[in-house]
Amino acid sequence: MTTLTEATGEAAARETPARRRRRVDRLPYLLLLPCLAIIAVLLLWPLGQVVMMSFYKLNSVRQLRGDREWPWVGLANYTQILGDPFFRTVLRNTVLFAVANVVLTMILGTLVGLLLNRLGRKMATFVASCVMLAWATPALTGTIVWKWIFDDTSGLATWLFNKLPDGLSTALFGRSDWTGYGWFNDPLLFFAILTLVVVWHSFPFIAVSVLAGLKSVPSELQEAARVDGAGPWRVFWSVTFPMLRPVFGILVVLSTIWDFKVFTQQFVLAGGTQDRSTFMLSIYSYAEAFSPPPKYGLGSAIAVILTLILLVVTGVYVRMVLRQEDES
């Protein structure tokens, strides 16, 4: 802001390009304007709106269109939800699922990242290309393929499990014939397959980011540690990990946020919103709001709870990024 006061008439008279540049103060705001408008209308306004809607009884589209009034119910939607044992089950499912998926994705992604860094050039390119394939595949089609693999009659998984020696299969799983077995009917198994699908989709991003992080830090330190007799485990925890800590922090937070709101994979694997035993917060909110009879108010309350949880995670993320910004 000092540039404005500095730029007096006298200074302007012997204006150089460098000086001219310092004076354009409104320009950045102009450049930001469209972006800010869009964010305000399409993200911030709905965010406020969903909180507001959660305090009303909204059970018809006509209310949304503004043709009918909105009865204020205060915290009734929240008391209804929080008092519902089913909601607590959904909440537990969501948290457990997110934690398991973040941990698995981070471990697998980091291992693959470290592996890619150690492989020879040709092999690394080959493996990285395959990993990219999993990343590039849309959640929708990726999930459809996994669903085909777990098809109960001609699926590859069904065939593979049928191939297991009968004795072993019976001892481990209590059955030897898997044909016609409903892979998605048991909630625990459903979540296991969902985890497989989600981890398959999300480990590539972690792997590639870790690899890029590894490439951006000098490898001399790791080599020096190795020369000093440190094992691979020690090198990772004492040298590599501290250097990559900022990247890891961001990756963990991003994964947490993504895994908390998995929707497409869940929707496709469960074949819609009928199977309540496999609900997690985002699909629960959606089903309450849009499955007839619509309950937009109740759905909003669930959405607000999901948002609040993610807000806490976001707070951690923002602090982390800002600290980095300060350091650099």
* Sites for other proteins among residues 11-50 (CB under 8 A): 17-18, 20-21, 24-25, 27-29, 31-32, 34-36, 38-39, 41-47, 49-50
Q: What's the closest the beta carbon of residue 133 comes to other proteins, in angstroms?
A: 5
Tell me: does residue 153 bind other proteins (CB under 8 A).
yes
Q: Cα angle at 285 between 86 and 87, to 5 degrees?
A: 15
Candidates 86-94, 116-124, 182-190, 221-229; binding stretch for other proteins (CB under 8 A): 116-124
Tell me: does residue 190 bind other proteins (CB under 8 A).
no
| 205, 222, 225, 255: residue in contact with other proteins (rule CB under 8 A) | 205
What are the residue ranges of helices labelled H in the chain? 2-6, 9-13, 17-23, 26-39, 45-53, 61-65, 76-82, 85-118, 121-136, 139-149, 156-163, 166-173, 187-216, 220-227, 232-235, 241-260, 264-270, 281-290, 296-327
Q: What's the closest the beta carbon of residue 34 comes to other proteins, in angstroms?
A: 5
**Where in 297-316 is the site for other proteins (CB under 8 A)?**
299-300, 303-304, 306-307, 310-311, 313-314
Tell me: does residue 72 bind other proteins (CB under 8 A).
no
Judge contact between 300 and 53, C-beta under 8 A: yes
Distance between CA 36 and CA 14 in Å, rounded? 36
| 99, 133, 192, 224: residue in contact with other proteins (rule CB under 8 A) | 133
Q: What's the closest the beta carbon of residue 187 comes to other proteins, in angstroms?
A: 20
Tell me: does residue 166 bind other proteins (CB under 8 A).
no
How far is residue 304 CA from its own chain's centroid? 17
Tell me: does residue 247 bind other proteins (CB under 8 A).
yes
The DSSP secondary-structure symbol of 119 reads S
Three-state DSSP state, 245: helix
Tell me: does residue 221 bind other proteins (CB under 8 A).
no
